Chains A and B, each alone.
Chain A
Amino acid sequence: MAFVVLVAASVRRVVEKDMTTRERRSYDAAVEALKGEGCRAGGKRLMSTDAGDYPMCQRALYGAWRMVTVYRRDGTILIVAVERHLEESVAAALAETFPGLSATGRRRSEQPPCCEDAAAPPTLSDELEAQLAPLYGLPPNPGVTRSQGRSRRARSAGRRRTPRPSGTVA
């Protein structure tokens, strides 16, 4: 079965202007894989609530490049971003947050595949996300302004929610 794959206009510009021939080849191969295999070629599923109604996945391309895709219910696959990952600062802040502990993520084999049905995606409260963002240099949540995060924090003083990044946590 062939899947319909669409690409956002901003992605087209990045692919045409910023990628070398070799990087472009890996992008083209990923597109062909998506057309042929659908979400099975999508890489890993991202944990977050920000993707709205669609599951969002990330696939590694050549070098530091990665491709981010979303999946519509009608089966259409949308390539929403192709970008270089520059997460050293996030990793450094995590390492400082947990001194003496190895702040590494799960092995690739343990990460959720793109096709997995994430009926109950893990979430953090807006207030906690608002607090984590400046610690780890995350861009602000477009849906929640910093002042909103602060006022929610103030309202919820004394009933802080503990982060629940996955269902594996009690």
Chain B
Amino acid sequence: MGKRESQQVAYAVVELEDARDELAASGKDAAPALKRIDDVIARLDGVGSVPRGLPVAEAARYLNVSEPTVRTWLGRGALQRVPGARPVLVERESLREVHRLLSELRERGQDRDWLRTFVDYVHDLAVVRSPEVQKGLADVKAGRLEPA
């Protein structure tokens, strides 16, 4: 199997795992189907040439974000690299975790009021957690205050 084909199989495995989770969350008694899917995933994982992650470009397509954003998220630890992989591969489980989070945010974001408030909230968190504010709060705790 060529490199391109093996990447396509890796992408299909990620989608298969997503479908498995959806089925498991549906509340239906799908134990036999889930077991079959798990078996298939295990067999595919057993094929030596199927990578444990997706290349950055494929990860970006899967998450519907740009490649620089995927690289940024790798740098910040939101996504994990497959150790030792060259070129970089994004580890499947971290990719699916971020995908689930983004799907949830995007679904809620259809409500414009919610989205606006969420955007404010993220900006406010960035302020409150900024190093300058944390330094100032540390000064307050330590009593390092002066009249303005």
Contact = CB atoms under 8 A, between A and B. Distances in A.
B129 A50 contact: yes
A29 interface: no
A46 B127 contact: yes
B29 interface: no
A78 to B, nearest CB: 6
A111 B115 contact: no
A80 B117 contact: no
Contacts of B38: none
A139 B131 CA distance: 8
A105 interface: yes
Given A14-B132, A81-B135, A139-B130, A165 B148 contact: no
A6 B124 contact: no
Interface string B86-125: 0000000000011011101110111111111111111111
Contacts of A12: 146
A169 B114 contact: yes
B113 A169 contact: yes
Interface in A75-126: 78-83, 85, 87, 89-90, 92-94, 96-99, 101, 103-106, 110-111, 122, 124
Query: Which range contains the number of A residues in contact with the other chain?
Result: 35 or more
Contacts of A9: 139, 144-146
Contact of B133 (A80, A110, A138): A80
Contacts, number: 190
Nearest to B76: A134
B136 A8 contact: yes
A19 interface: no
| Residue in A8, A89, A163, A168 with the greatest tally of chain B CB atoms within 10 Å | A8
A142 B127 CA distance: 13
A162 B133 CA distance: 27
Contacts of B148: 5-7, 31, 34-35, 79
Interface residues of B, number: 55
A68 interface: yes
A50 B134 CA distance: 10
A85 B135 CA distance: 16
Given A98-B106, A138-B122, A93 B69 contact: yes
Contacts of A162: 104, 108
29 contacts: A6-B145, A6-B148, A8-B136, A10-B132, A31-B148, A68-B136, A81-B132, A90-B122, A90-B126, A92-B69, A94-B122, A98-B106, A101-B112, A103-B119, A106-B120, A110-B116, A131-B97, A132-B101, A132-B122, A134-B73, A134-B76, A134-B78, A135-B78, A138-B126, A138-B129, A142-B134, A160-B104, A165-B114, A166-B121
Given A92-B69, A101-B112, 15 more contacts: A9-B146, A12-B146, A47-B120, A50-B128, A78-B136, A78-B140, A78-B145, A81-B135, A81-B136, A83-B132, A124-B121, A131-B97, A165-B118, A165-B121, A169-B114
